Amino acid sequence: MKATSKKWSAAALLAVATLGTRAAFAQTEIGAEYRWLTFLVFAVVIAITMFVTYVAAKRVRSASDFYTAGGGVSGFQNGWAIAGDYLSAASFLGIAGLISLYGYDGFMYSVGFLVAYITVLLLIAEPCRNIGRYTLSDILAYRNDPRKTRIVGALSVFTVSTFYLTAQMVGGGVLVKTLLGINYETSVACVGVLMLSYVLFGGMVATTWVQIIKAVLLVSASLVIVALVWTPYGFSLPAFLQDVVSDPRVQARVAVLLGDPAKSMSAAELGQRFLEPGLYLKAPIDQISLGLALVFGTAGLPHILMRFFTVRSALQARRSVVWAMVIIGGFYLLTLFLGFGAAKLVGPADIAAVDAGGNMAAPLLAQFIGGGPNAFFGNFMLAFVSAVAFATIVAVVAGLVLASASALAHDLYVGVWRAGKTVTPQGQVKAARVATIIVGAMAIGIGIAAKGQNAAVLVGLAFAVAASANFPCVLLTLHWKRCNTGGIVAGMLIGTIAAVGLTLISPNLTYPKAVKAAAHKVLDAAPAKRAAASEALASGDAATVGKAKKDLATLDKAVAKANADLAKWANDETSFMGLEKPLFELKNPGLISIPLGFLGVIFGSLLMRDRRAEEMWNEVYARQNTSLVVSKSVAH
């Protein structure tokens, strides 16, 4: 550790000395001479997961093995698998990136993602284990009309999973493209084929182990990076943050974010501002709406709920959430160091230059920590973190595809289409595998078609639908006696339509008029800025000239982008929905759509009385509280 930290300090000095040339490496992902190393690390990670799949494949004989690993996963293992399922590329790369670019506000996301698990722990996990078998719709169908609830349940599972899946595919494609230089379409196909092979052959057994391996790799890689970042400060938090806020590049970043008000602030004040809220989330009500969607959405994510069917009992389900909270919370604490470390060592401007959303902050930090782009260890670290990010995406996608495939095969095929007829165990496994191929092929197709979409918006939408449709339905069918088929159908439809509809008329879409106005503003301001920079160039002072050169380069980029925007939207005046400006001001619909989903379930249930649902209440109520006679998945 000591030797590495010395090496690190030397590298830091070197990096500062060559500040001017550093922007260049940022563009070239991994140098050609080290590309073999990257492929080697990727190959090792893939080989391990393939071996696990090979072993797992022998154990998958029944539908229960395929969907829930036979219910034989322990609470501790399931905790790691939940962490593996949940810590998607969006949270690993995205949150570290947000912190590195916006400071405090990025960290607020971490908190929401962890607190979400309290809802899962207290209200959802154990009753789900006691009532359900393979899918979310099993819970809904338990005391309601199985046909109707399975159809709406499956539709909602598809909606949530597809948005989430698309986000992961887009993120994965961009990541592999940036790191390895493989084109986007091939990258997406690679992610898809690899994921398909895990799910198809190894079912939930392999998927669980891939998620566990990935979570262990992710946490270990982060621990190593954080140790290297933090050691020079003797593991003192104030000393580390003091150094972050004293960094001129961090202060410059805050000045850019604040605009005019920054002019009257001192350098120290600008740095300190990085640790205060409001640099990213400017509308308070938006933040609260997002918080609602995060906290209640997790409890409605089908691939997370499905994980509770893989354990033996309610006790194990509870243990798995507690372990997941320890791992997920611990990881999000590390993002504090990953994000602020990247801001201090790599610099916000260089991070944003590689990816405007900051998604490359953690990989770039890993490379820097290892000694930079020219050192073997630096490239090894970059390759390792990239391989972990790749494994992350594949593991999350595998979980999502399994959830969708189970909705298709178990709910729609076995539960609705072949309702009343017996489907042999072999037939069920076959249906599950056919459904996996269908969903997997769709995932690859959608991933390629969605090129260029904003991954963060898609994840937000997935959480919004899960919180507005799935969460009210699952919660109320478990905890409210009067809940029935009418309520489930109304809640699912209203929640989904409200969440998707409000997003379609929200500021998340591109509004050509606003884009063009912004582009014109940039172009109008350009000549004056150029004149100021030319003047500075002539001054002769080395520091001023250096800054002016940088300013000019930034200006050229902004002008090029403004021109490209103008050309791209030349013929459009309205958004995809035909709107000139957003009708609904919130970026996340949760604040409106979650209450609408709940109202849907309540009024639907009250308007359409169902005697059977109320008669079966006693059973649901007793069963979820006593775990008496848990489903057959345990009793082989």
Partner 1 sequence: MAVPEAVDWDALIRDPRFQSLHRRKSVFLWGLMALSIAYYFLLPIGAAYFQDLFKIRVWGVINVGLLFALSQFVVAWVIALVYSRKASRDFDVMAAELSAEFGSPGAQARAGVER
Give 264 or 571: the residue with its C-beta nearer to partner 1.
Answer: 264
Scanning residues 223 to 262, which ones bind partner 1 (CB under 8 A)? 237-239, 241-242, 245
Helical (H) or strand (E) element with 96: helix 96-102
| Dihedral Cα 36, 37, 39, 45, nearest 10 deg | 160
CB-based contacts of 444: which residues, under 8 Å, 6+ apart?
169, 188, 189, 192, 193
C-beta of 12: minimal distance to partner 1 in Å?
20
Give 115 or 223: the residue with its C-beta nearer to partner 1.
Answer: 115
Backbone angles phi, psi at 369, to 5 degrees: -60, -35
The answer to whether 523 contacts partner 1 (rule: CB under 8 A) is: no
Residue 364 · residue 338 · CB < 8 Å: no
C-beta of 44: minimal distance to partner 1 in Å?
33
Cα 571 to its chain centre, rounded Å, is 34
Q: Among 81-89, 286-294, 457-465, 485-493, which window interacts with partner 1 (CB under 8 A)? A: 286-294
Give 154 or 395: the residue with its C-beta nearer to partner 1.
Answer: 154
C-beta of 628: minimal distance to partner 1 in Å?
5
Choose which of 538, 606, 628, 636 interacts with partner 1 (CB under 8 A). Answer: 628
The answer to whether 627 contacts partner 1 (rule: CB under 8 A) is: yes
Number of residues that bind partner 1 (CB under 8 A): 61
Rounded-to-integer distance, Cα 23 and Cα 17, Å: 13
Residue 625 · residue 497 · CB < 8 Å: no
Choose which of 57, 262, 275, 591 interacts with partner 1 (CB under 8 A). Answer: 275
The answer to whether 155 contacts partner 1 (rule: CB under 8 A) is: no
Cα 458 to its chain centre, rounded Å, is 9
Residue 137's alpha-carbon distances to 158, 327, 603, in angstroms, are: 12, 28, 20
- Other CB atoms within a 10 A radius of the CB of residue 537 amount to 15
The answer to whether 539 contacts partner 1 (rule: CB under 8 A) is: no
DSSP state of 311: B
The answer to whether 322 contacts partner 1 (rule: CB under 8 A) is: yes
Cα 203 to its chain centre, rounded Å, is 23
C-beta of 111: minimal distance to partner 1 in Å?
5
| Dihedral Cα 396, 400, 403, 406, nearest 10 deg | -110
Residue 321 · residue 209 · CB < 8 Å: no
Cα 71 to its chain centre, rounded Å, is 27
C-beta of 142: minimal distance to partner 1 in Å?
6
Q: HSE, CB side, 13 Å, CA atoms: give it for residue 200.
A: 15
C-beta of 236: minimal distance to partner 1 in Å?
9
Strand partners, 484: none
Residue 94 · residue 272 · CB < 8 Å: no
C-beta of 361: minimal distance to partner 1 in Å?
19
Scanning residues 86 to 145, which ones bind partner 1 (CB under 8 A)? 104-105, 107-108, 111-112, 114-115, 117-119, 121-123, 133, 138, 141-142
For residue 266, give the 3-state DSSP assignment: coil
Choose which of 71, 171, 192, 291 interacts with partner 1 (CB under 8 A). Answer: 291
C-beta of 238: minimal distance to partner 1 in Å?
3
Give 318 or 433: the residue with its C-beta nearer to partner 1.
Answer: 318
C-beta of 635: minimal distance to partner 1 in Å?
8
Note the residues at the interface with partner 1 (CB under 8 A): 104-105, 107-108, 111-112, 114-115, 117-119, 121-123, 133, 138, 141-142, 146, 237-239, 241-242, 245, 271-272, 275-278, 281, 284-285, 287-288, 290-291, 295, 315, 318-319, 321-322, 325-326, 329, 332-333, 618-619, 621-623, 625-629, 631-632
